[in-house]
Chain A
Amino acid sequence: GESVGLHLPTLSVQEGDNSIINCAYSNSASDYFIWYKQESGKGPQFIIDIRSNMDKRQGQRVTVLLNKTVKHLSLQIAATQPGDSAVYFCAESGAGTALIFGKGTTLSVSS
């Protein structure tokens, strides 16, 4: 079956460092991917998305990279700030109407 997973459940970085959060997916038919950020006590917040016809997409301080060959997705956060501390989820779509979510990576940023 299909699954979306993250390589590490937790990631700790220093303020100002760049963060890289990884995600592996198994459904080669997936053609749309999203990263969400969920802060404590809040719902998931859309960060950035990418379609399968792209390898890279940049937002404000965030970049998503898609490697279809190895079915790998990553979220890069530049100059990580304490406010970036949250759980980050990747999600994929392509087999139907539902997004399939990974379990999440908890990012902790220390000053």
Chain B
Amino acid sequence: ETGVTQTPRHLVMGMTNKKSLKCEQHLGHNAMYWYKQSAKKPLELMFVYNFKEQTENNSVPSRFSPECPNSSHLFLHLHTLQPEDSALYLCASSQRGGMPNSGNTIYFGEGSWLTVV
């Protein structure tokens, strides 16, 4: 149990489907993140939210749409994805946004495996 829960753990969707990934953190943190992990590549930061406000969008295509209704919940809405978007999507949280540092470590969920067919 990491304190960051992601659902679903596995998702298969067609290119014309609309689906959402959900993340909930039970750590009392104020910042939440979406990362993408593809095979043979380093983790890529997608979005950062701090106190529900988006503070970073790392040039992510608009077919990925994040939503952060409160500091404990984060969604990633998926629409018209491509097969190359198949990857592990990781949610993470930290005490606050800003620079990671001691006392502001980023903790990850187990991830949602997405396959686009």
Q: A102 and B111: CB pair below 8 A? A: no
Contacts A96-B99, A97-B99 given; does A89 touch B107 at CB 8 Å? no
- A46 with B58: CB separation less than 8 A: no
CB-defined contacts of B99 to chain A, threshold 8 Å = 32, 93-94, 96-97
| Size of A's binding interface in residues, CB under 8 A | 26
Distance between B102 CB and nearest chain A CB, rounded to angstroms: 6
Output the least CB separation between A52 and chain B (Å): 10
Assuming A32-B99, A32-B100, is B105 touching A97 (CB within 8 A)?
A: no
Residue contact A45 to B2, C-beta cutoff 8 Å? yes
Taking the complex as formed, is B48 at the interface, i.e. its CB lies under 8 A from any CB of chain A? yes
Q: Mark A20-47, 1 if CB is under 8 A from B, else 0.
A: 0000000000011010100001111110
Q: State whether B108 touches A98 (Cβ < 8 A).
A: no
A102 to chain B, nearest CB (A): 6
**A36-68 vs B: 1/0 string, CB under 8 Å?**
100001111110010100000000000000000
Chain A nearest CB, measured from B26 CB (Å): 15
Q: Is the CB of B42 within 8 A of A45?
A: no
The interface of chain A, by Cβ under 8 A from chain B, is: 4, 31-32, 34, 36, 41-46, 49, 51, 89, 91, 93-94, 96-104
What 12 new A-B contacts, CB under 8 Å, besides A43-B110, A49-B105, A103-B41?
A4-B42, A32-B99, A32-B101, A34-B106, A41-B110, A42-B111, A43-B2, A43-B109, A49-B102, A97-B98, A98-B48, A99-B45
